[in-house]
Each structure stands twice: as structure tokens, then as C-alpha cells.
Chains A and B, each alone.
Chain A
């Protein structure tokens, strides 16, 4: 079970399951840590995503894009399915109403200064599934909007807008939590 990867590389590289894990497991784990609701589920998601990628390794076609784009589509689909399983059973459904984002930099800056990373991740994990995936791809993995969009089935332009909306929703949450006693 292996695939020849040549996109973006001068020499074709044969990617085995071991190579795929070696190259990408850290990034997949980072993505999972952002989108999953807790560390236990993050581990399950990372495992599931990598297993799916290994099972599909023969289907990778270098003519259709980079190995990273192929992999992130699989990883995002795995996270989407995991979210669907959770949603099916009606748990972790956050019914907080959508708050109109207000751009108040001073409040945001103040809130961010006081906010621990763990709290920021907690707020991030309460965002809708697609928002989490986009922010994880864009900021957690450092993909550009085009690459992030490709993974979730959006154009670069639409992905940029979706990321801005996701940021606005996150800001709104931070602002509410900051204003609450």
C-alpha cells in the first residue's frame, strides 16, 4: 500500500503508511486538537483521519493536486463525520444564539490579554464544526485561504469570507465571556 507523490517535488517520492505518519501525524494531531471537543476525542479523530488516509493512499493522484491538499480533504471529512456522530446523538449541541459581531478592538485586545490559551481553545471548540475546521486549517496549520478552502470544498474567495465570519463569531463569544462577570 503506497503511492507515488510527485506534485511540487523534483523527485517523485513513494509515500508509504509509515512515511505518511512520519510527515503528517503532528499536523493532523494539531488540527484534531483544535476541532475536537476534548483531548480524548482529538486522539480518536487523529487516529481515524490517519487510518482513512492510509486506506486511501492508493487513490491519491498527483495530477489532481498536492498530497497535502489530498490529505486535508480526508482529515476534514473525518472531523465532519465525527461532528455528525456527536450531533446525531444530540450532545455538545451549542444553542447559543448568534450574536452580531461588533468590532471593538479595545475590548478584544483586553480580553485577549487576559485570556489563557486553554480558554481560547475552549471558545474555539464551541464554534460550529466548519468554523473550527477553517480556523484550524488557516491558523493551526498555517494554510493559506486557497488551501484551506480546497480542504472544505470552498473557493479561496469564499474560504476567506468564511474565515472572517468564523473569526467574527469567535470575537463575539470572547466579548460576551469578557463582559460576563
Chain B
């Protein structure tokens, strides 16, 4: 069968692939070792538990002060969606200086959904994301999910994927490396904050982060949205984050991504909101993709910020019909 030009290009495409040798070496180091049956199994389990407990004590900083005590720390916490977790944020205070830029890792927070680093830059700067990396003590890298910066204060919030096992149990020693930053300054001609040209340097910042454990919440009851049944799955809340799985039965992700014509870009046919006890929308993210498709519909993982305990509302909107369910968050 002959291939068209696009297929030919795809067949012979030059790719920047990971180094198979390096990947193999890491995989063979990390692979599970064969278990040995031992008559000392029970003592071994006991020792394992003690080792784990020691690991927890080692990784979780003993004197993690609340960041709210740091001048301006409260603003950083609110901006990062950590207002409800002030006491769970580890104060770090690590400083790195290079090429005239001073970067301070003010605090860090991690739960099962995200790892958040709170930084201050002076002068105000943003990192070059392509050359930045967060790794843990096992050498695993964590992709960045989002970031925001305030040019006036030099505050910088970086959010990464949640820590992997066993970091998620014991806490982690993480290292943030930056190799290039941009001066972040107000451009009066453009009337906007703009990144300047890259400034090369080396900034390495380390922190030990404990994990904020989540509690399981009561699952809301199912409901109907027109002809579509909506059910809810696991719901959990940590001090800073609320997550819940929402199932839309009998509809595909493509159908949920459709827009209702309005003469402009159109209105989304499907929306998912998390609303806090004071009525503010605290949805952080939810996404739809072909991977959301299940055997009988679509599952959407909703992530929102927890600021205070109380009743939070999950609002599902589909084809103009709304369904509200309450999550009681301790």
C-alpha cells in the first residue's frame, strides 16, 4: 500500500527521543526485586513500619511554621489557593542568587493533587519554564501544571504534579532548578507587564515537604440533567484542595465539549463549578479529553480550592439545566 506525503513524513520523522540506555538503566534500578520468603517475616514487617515511621520523621520538617506569619505571606497563600492550609504550608526560606537575581523559596505545600512552591524573586522575574525542573530525592521529575507571578512584589507561585509514591506517604525532599529567568517588568508603552530577554544563571533551591492528607467526603446523590444521568464518585478534601469525580452517563467527551451558538464563540454546553460556602466559585480545573471516556459515558475529575470548612456546592450544567449537590467539607 502506498503512503501519502504526510504518512511518509510521519514514518521517517526525526525525533528527539529519550536515551534508551539511560531509561533502561533507571528502569532496571527501580524494578521490583524478587521477594524472599523469610521466617522473620513478622519482625520484618515491624521493622518496615519502624523504618517508614523514621522516614516520615526524617522528611516532615519538625518545626514547620505557618507561612501566614511571614510578611506578605497571607497574600501568597490566597493567590496559590492555600488560604485554608496556612498551618500546613512548610516555611522553607531557601535562597539562591545568581546573575544579580535573588530567588527565595518561601514555602511549599503538597497534597494528593498538587505540589505548590511559593517563591519571591528580586528583582521581579519569571522562570524560563523550558529549562526549569522539579525533582525529588529519587530523581523523578514533576511537570509544572501552572504558574503565576506578581510583578509588583516579585511573588511567584509554581504548581506541579502531585508527588509520587512513596513521597506521597513519607513526604519528599524536592529540588527546584532554574537555569534562566526573565526580568518581569511593566512596559509603560504597552501598558502591560512583560517578560524581558532571558538571563542565564543557576538557582538551586531545596525543600522538605510533608504531605497534607485528604479525608474522604460523603458521595452526593445522583441526579438528572435533561435525559442524562449524573452520578458522583470519590470525593476527598485536604486542607487546601477538594476533588470529586463526576460521571455523565450516555454522553461522550466530544458531546460535552460542544458549544451552543450565540453569534460569537458560543456558550459551553457543559460546565462544572465548585462553589464555596460564601458563594465564590473556587473551581481550579477540570478537563475533558478522549481519555475521559468510559464504557458508558464520561468521567470528569473536578479540582477546587478549599478555603474554609462548610458546605460546598458542586454545580453541573448541561444543555441549560443545572444540578446542584452539596459537599460537606470538614
Contact = CB atoms under 8 A, between A and B. Distances in A.
Interface of A: 1, 17-18, 21-22, 25-26, 28-30, 32-34, 39-44, 46-47, 50-51, 54-55, 80, 83-91, 93, 95, 105, 108-109, 112, 115, 117-118, 120-121, 124, 128-131, 135, 139-140, 142, 167, 170-171, 174
Nearest to B26: A47
A47 B10 contact: no
B20 interface: yes
27 contacts: A17-B27, A21-B24, A21-B27, A29-B23, A42-B17, A43-B22, A44-B140, A46-B18, A46-B20, A46-B23, A47-B27, A50-B23, A54-B27, A87-B288, A89-B285, A90-B303, A91-B145, A91-B146, A91-B285, A91-B287, A109-B5, A112-B9, A117-B15, A121-B15, A139-B11, A140-B13, A140-B15
Interface in B71-114: 113-114
Given A30-B15, A34-B15, A139-B7, A87 B23 contact: no
A140 B15 CA distance: 9
Contacts of B146: 91
B249 interface: no
A51 B28 CA distance: 8
Interface of A is mostly: helix
Contacts of B22: 43
Interface of B: 5-7, 9-11, 13-24, 26-28, 30-32, 34, 113-114, 133, 140-141, 143, 145-146, 161, 257, 284-292, 301, 303
Given A39-B16, A91-B285, A121-B15, A17 B292 contact: no
Given A41-B143, A46-B18, A84 B31 contact: no
B27 A50 contact: yes
B18 A128 contact: no
A148 B216 CA distance: 39
Given A89-B303, A91-B287, A130-B290, 18 more contacts: A17-B28, A21-B20, A25-B20, A29-B17, A47-B30, A54-B27, A54-B31, A55-B31, A87-B289, A88-B301, A90-B287, A109-B5, A117-B9, A118-B16, A120-B10, A129-B289, A129-B291, A135-B10
A27 B35 CA distance: 30
A161 to B, nearest CB: 15
A140 to B, nearest CB: 7
Contacts of A124: 10
Most buried by B among A30, A89, A115: A89
Given A18-B28, A108-B5, A109-B5, A87 B292 contact: yes
Nearest to A113: B5
Nearest to B3: A139
Contacts of A22: 24
Contacts of B5: 105, 108-109, 112
B252 to A, nearest CB: 12
Most buried by A among B133, B141, B291, B292: B291
Contact of B291 (A30, A83, A112): A83
Most buried by A among B32, B133, B143, B257: B143
Nearest to A55: B32
Contact of A167 (B7, B13, B301): B7
A33 B161 contact: no
Nearest to A127: B290
A117 B27 contact: no
Shortest Cβ-Cβ A-B pairs, 7 listed: A90-B285, A139-B10, A21-B24, A43-B18, A25-B20, A33-B17, A88-B301
B113 A89 contact: yes
Nearest to B141: A40
Contacts of A170: 6
B3 to A, nearest CB: 9
A115 B14 CA distance: 12
Contacts of A93: 287-289
Contacts of A30: 15, 17
A120 B9 contact: yes
Contact of A95 (B15, B257, B290): B257
A33 B18 contact: yes
Most buried by B among A43, A80, A167: A43
B16 A33 contact: yes
Contacts of A85: 161
Most buried by B among A1, A87, A108, A170: A87
